[in-house]
Structure 1
């Protein structure tokens, strides 16, 4: 379920405050699970979207590979 464009424009990474982009989780490519990925060069955390709600908690984020 894609997020509204207006919401995506105002969301930022809680760790580094860089903008986020929507992407499909690499580990769940078959299930279509989405996540928000930080666009910061040094950060790159991926935050899950559960039931259409972004979980913007650093403790819940997936570290980049």
Structure 2
């Protein structure tokens, strides 16, 4: 995704900053808990097309398997 385009895009609901998730081809708004898809290199910035993020994903928590490795035995 073009860095200049990414710098100009904001969440259509709250006007907040978006985080680019390259692995899932999404732009994420952690405030609203929505992930907007990127299809064929074009961000789809429509609320009805956005995916609702899980609570852990919204808070930026790692998966349980990652947490287990960081704890002492």
TM band (smaller chain): 0.7 to 0.9
TM-score under structure 2 normalisation? 0.67
TM-score under structure 1 normalisation? 0.74
Structure 1: 4+ residue segments shifted above 2 A: none
Aligned partner of 2:39 in structure 1 is 50
Unpaired runs of 5+ residues, structure 1, are 26-33
Q: Measure, in 1, the Cα distance between the counterparts of 2:33 and 2:5.
A: 19
Counting matched residue pairs gives 53
Q: Measure, in 1, the Cα distance between the counterparts of 2:44 and 2:11.
A: 11
Give the match's secondary structure for 2:52.
coil
Going from structure 1 to structure 2, the CA distance change for 1:39 and 1:61 (only over 3 Å counts) comes to same
Unpaired runs of 5+ residues, structure 2, are 55-73
Root-mean-square deviation (Å): 1.0
Answering whether residue 26 of structure 2 is matched by residue 35 of structure 1, we say: yes
Aligned partner of 1:64 in structure 2 is 53
Going from structure 1 to structure 2, the CA distance change for 1:39 and 1:10 (only over 3 Å counts) comes to farther
Larger radius of gyration: 2
Give the match's secondary structure for 2:37.
strand
